[in-house]
Structure 1
Amino acid sequence: MDRYYPQCYNLPLACPSSCPAGGCTVDCVTCKPVCNCDRPGAVCQDPRFIGGDGTTFYFHGKKDQHFCLVSDSNLHINAHFIGRRNENMGRDFTWVQSIVILFENHQLFLGALKTSTWDDSVDRLALTFDGEPVTLPESQGAKWQSGKVSITRTGATNNVNVEVEGNFKITAKVVPITEEDSRIHNYGITKEDCFAHLDLGFKFYSLSNEVHGVLGQTYKPGYVSRLNIGAKMPVMGGYRDFHTSSLFAPDCAVARFTGSSDGDALMMPSEMPGLSCGSGIGGRGVVCKR
């Protein structure tokens, strides 16, 4: 729907059949649909990463733990992993359930709410900015803005774009593990919890040459991957390098975040009130209460 690319403006296009539940977007230069999870900066599925260098790899982490995806002087992104133990593999099946973005003296939270039976018409996305809940009407194009920060629904439910002018843009979609996914991959998902999680796409506007993190390091100039590219599933190690003490803490071993010296200090986890989230009145939006 971008008027700056008239050759494919308002042209109906079908997502490739290979695209997972995350769907696709149009590459306006080529005027072709591309799977969201196949673009550089994507973090989807079990977490499957597409690095800034175009390399595909997996980082399994560990269930109920937190890991830094990106760490730079004025941007730090942590992810909370949920999962199930697979005794036969000796590791957890994991998915990214929520992320926290720290920038300047702000923090932004995006999370998928736990749910048993999936219904895509019910919004399962929780959002907070500096500890305060963000509520969006359930309609495509609905927008919330505060200064340089904007959050826009790209679908009536479970899809948003988050952008901080001059810093980053993130696409986020809440998706479940389907019974078919569980059967094919032997996840062992039950009807009590469909393991709703986030499929994410990152675009960065001002990373430094010192950026690090699971995904961030792949954007360094001259980055050389240590992955076994010939493997069927190239896996990135470094659990201890990327592990953080909490979702809100920029304290992984490779942390670069300093934030802004202007304004109030960043609100840290010990100062964060607990949030209880659920559907809003009449099912419109998501409301989070302290």
Structure 2
Amino acid sequence: MAAIVILETILFALALMVQRTSSWSVSCSNPNSACYGQLQSCPAKCAQWCEVDCTTCNVQCACDKPGAVCQDPRFIGGDGVMFYFHGEKDKDFCIVSDPALHINAHFIGKRGSGMKRDFTWVQSLGILFSSHQLYIGAQTVASWDNNVDALSLSFDGQPVILPPRIGATHHISEAGVEITRVQGKNAVTIEVKGSMKLEAHVVPITKQESRVHKYEITSENCFAHLDINFQFFNLSSDVNGVLGQTYVPGYKTRVKVGVPMPILGGDQNYVASSLFETDCTVSKFGAASSGIIRPASPLSCKSSDSGRGFLCRR
């Protein structure tokens, strides 16, 4: 059985490599960079998307960078440490909670045969700042079609409509919000001026992924979900949440580093009663801040030689 699983994993990796060879390319969008506009191929190991670091001109897997929340869900903390937080399907968890910013994630999922826990993925985010509410989510989709936009956006309860073209932008000037498509469909960046920026892609569970990981996905629902990478500006030293706590100076991770699947527990500390509620146990939203974490020089992370973690340097 173990040999069969290993063989399936190898075949899945080869399938991804064939799928992404030559046709999957990215470029730097900063006109001041030496590599501006130059197409570079994404590594086959990248889960769903990659990007060019305009400073170093190196291609990076976005899901391997600090601030990533991808897959089942797999986090890369602000400290560069990779961990999993499974949560529970059909529940909401606060992943960042700070006096001026609060982000909840809604988990979808299913329980496979013989499993004691749910397979889970992040379906949507509820972002609160000032008196505003910003929503981004993946629509329920039976069979995946790259030509269909499965992304939903709203601001203070009103739908945000973006034309399906790269670079299409929606400004909400009174709130300092800018939403921009980075692909024609299913991928955007969202920036809240002075607070945060994220890039989110709606992605499905593929047949290969389902087979290798035994997700048992059927033709009724491909479990479209979000893969996300966050950047934060001016977080306080009181920040908490599944991801947020990893940005506190001197944070000591509670996960067992070096194991194949380091898991962060304590689910009940992070559960919220709904997507826009700030009632998780570790909530800091609206509280007085005891200090501001100024943006630090970016971390450069890469897979360790063992393949069981990441090495990060500033």
- Same fold, TM exceeding 0.5? yes
Aligned to 1:277: none
Note if contact 1:105-1:259 (Cα within 8 Å) is conserved in structure 2: no
Distance in structure 2 (CA, Å) of the matches to 1:216 and 1:238: 15
In structure 2, the CA distance between the partners of 1:198 and 1:259, relative to structure 1 (3 Å rule), is farther
Note if contact 1:143-1:150 (Cα within 8 Å) is conserved in structure 2: yes
Q: Which residues in structure 2 correspond to 1:169-248 (within 5 Å)?
A: 169-248=197-276
Distance in structure 2 (CA, Å) of the matches to 1:117 and 1:193: 7
Percent of paired sites with the same residue: 55
Aligned to 2:109: 83
- The DSSP-based 3-state class of the residue aligned with 1:86 is coil
1:12 is matched by which residue type in structure 2? L
Distance in structure 2 (CA, Å) of the matches to 1:226 and 1:146: 39
After superposition, the C-alpha distances for 1:86-116 in whole angstroms (9 at most, x for unaligned) are 3433100000000010001100000100011
1:151 is matched by which residue type in structure 2? I
Find runs of 4+ consecutive structure 1 residues off by over 6 angstroms: none
Shift of 1:10: 1.1
TM-score by length of 2: 0.81
- The DSSP-based 3-state class of the residue aligned with 1:18 is coil
Aligned to 2:7: none
- The DSSP-based 3-state class of the residue aligned with 1:199 is strand
- The DSSP-based 3-state class of the residue aligned with 1:200 is strand
Distance in structure 1 (CA, Å) of the matches to 2:268 and 2:68: 22
After superposition, the C-alpha distances for 1:167-217 in whole angstroms (9 at most, x for unaligned) are 000101000000100000000000000000000010000100000000000
Instruction: Indicate yes or no: 2:190 matched with 1:162.
Output: yes
- The DSSP-based 3-state class of the residue aligned with 1:78 is strand
Note if contact 1:47-1:94 (Cα within 8 Å) is conserved in structure 2: yes
Aligned to 1:3: 31
Distance in structure 1 (CA, Å) of the matches to 2:287 and 2:201: 27
Note if contact 1:102-1:108 (Cα within 8 Å) is conserved in structure 2: yes
Q: What is the CA RMSD across the aligned residues, in angstroms? A: 1.1
Note if contact 1:138-1:157 (Cα within 8 Å) is conserved in structure 2: yes
Aligned equivalent of 1:125, options 124, 130, 151: 151
Distance in structure 2 (CA, Å) of the matches to 1:79 and 1:172: 13
Note if contact 1:103-1:259 (Cα within 8 Å) is conserved in structure 2: no
After superposition, the C-alpha distances for 1:193-243 in whole angstroms (9 at most, x for unaligned) are 000000001000010000000000000000000111132100000111000
Aligned length: 258
Distance in structure 2 (CA, Å) of the matches to 1:128 and 1:200: 17
Aligned to 1:266: none
Aligned equivalent of 2:135, options 109, 116, 121: 109
Distance in structure 1 (CA, Å) of the matches to 2:78 and 2:39: 29
Distance in structure 2 (CA, Å) of the matches to 1:209 and 1:185: 38
Aligned to 2:119: 93
Shift of 1:58: 0.1
Q: Which residues in structure 2 correspond to 1:39-54 (within 5 Å)?
A: 39-54=65-80
Q: Which has the higher contact order (CA 8 A, sep 6+)?
A: 1
Distance in structure 1 (CA, Å) of the matches to 2:36 and 2:105: 35
1:66 is matched by which residue type in structure 2? D
Aligned to 2:42: 15
After superposition, the C-alpha distances for 1:106-160 in whole angstroms (9 at most, x for unaligned) are 0000010001110011100000000000000000000000111000000000000
Q: Which runs of 5+ in 2 are unaligned?
A: 1-28, 289-314
Q: Which runs of 5+ in 1 are unaligned?
A: 261-290
Shift of 1:42: 0.3
- The DSSP-based 3-state class of the residue aligned with 2:246 is helix
Aligned to 2:312: none
- The DSSP-based 3-state class of the residue aligned with 2:115 is coil
Aligned to 1:279: none
1:194 is matched by which residue type in structure 2? C
TM-score by length of 1: 0.88
Distance in structure 1 (CA, Å) of the matches to 2:150 and 2:116: 31
2:242 is matched by which residue type in structure 1? V
Q: Which residues in structure 2 correspond to 1:209-288 (within 5 Å)?
A: 209-258=237-286
Note if contact 1:243-1:252 (Cα within 8 Å) is conserved in structure 2: yes
